[in-house]
Amino acid sequence: MAAKARTLRRLLGEYRELINNETEGIYAGPISEEDWMVWECLIAGPPDTPFEGGMFSATLTFTDDYPLSPPTLKFTCDILHPNVYPDGTVCISILHPPGDDPNMYEHASERWSPIQSVEKVLLSVMSMLAEPNDESGANVDASKMFRENRERYEKIVRNCARKTVGL
């Protein structure tokens, strides 16, 4: 952990906020106390979507100059989603600084900025689960299936969701 003190301080603060003022459906905290730069997260599948009932695990990795630079988010469970790369990495505009967004049509306000936070990132991911952006092809096959064979997509997603809770 080669964290700058100010990065560490902000992460401590965010963590404290998360435990003191919980947001339903999201959970995040450092994997171990000696490394604040990697956090483990759980994101509840949004209701009324095929993800419902699942608890999707992911890791958030921060850089030395957080919050100037965004963290990266990578699912560590099986997940099928148009905006999630096959290796689990999430591609969503809030994780890209302005000018570094693969989906250029998205508003700048949806991009990363130092005022964003772990909580906002995870809430955005929840929205992303509920409403995939099938024009951004992090997972081209998933995008295609989402567009052309919704039933099959949802069936697979439901199975992923069940698997996350050991069913």
Return the active site residues: 91
Token pair 């989603």 is found at 81
Q: Please check whether residue 67 is in contact with residue 114, taking contact to mean a CB–CB distance below 8 angstroms.
A: yes
Q: Which of residues 146-165 bind another protein (CB under 8 A)?
A: 154-156, 158-165
How far apart CA 27 and CA 38 sit, in angstroms, is: 14
H or E element, residue 15 = helix 5-20
Q: Which of residues 32-51 bind another protein (CB under 8 A)?
A: 32-36, 40, 42, 44, 46-48
AA identity, residue 144: K
Token pair 């989402």 is found at 146
Q: Which of residues 101-140 bind another protein (CB under 8 A)?
A: 107-111, 113-117, 119-121, 123-124, 126-127, 130-131, 139-140
x/- map, 51-80, another protein, by CB under 8 A: -xxxx--------xx-xx------xxxxxx
User: For residue 154, what are the CA distances in angstroms to 90, 130, 160?
Assistant: 19, 11, 10
Q: Please check whether residue 51 is in contact with residue 26, taking contact to mean a CB–CB distance below 8 angstroms.
A: no
Q: Report in angstroms how near the CB of residue 138 gets to another protein at its nearest.
A: 9
Q: Report in angstroms how near the CB of residue 17 gets to another protein at its nearest.
A: 3
Q: Report in angstroms how near the CB of residue 165 gets to another protein at its nearest.
A: 4
Name which of 102 and 154 has its Cβ closer to another protein: 154
Count of residues interacting with another protein (CB under 8 A): 97
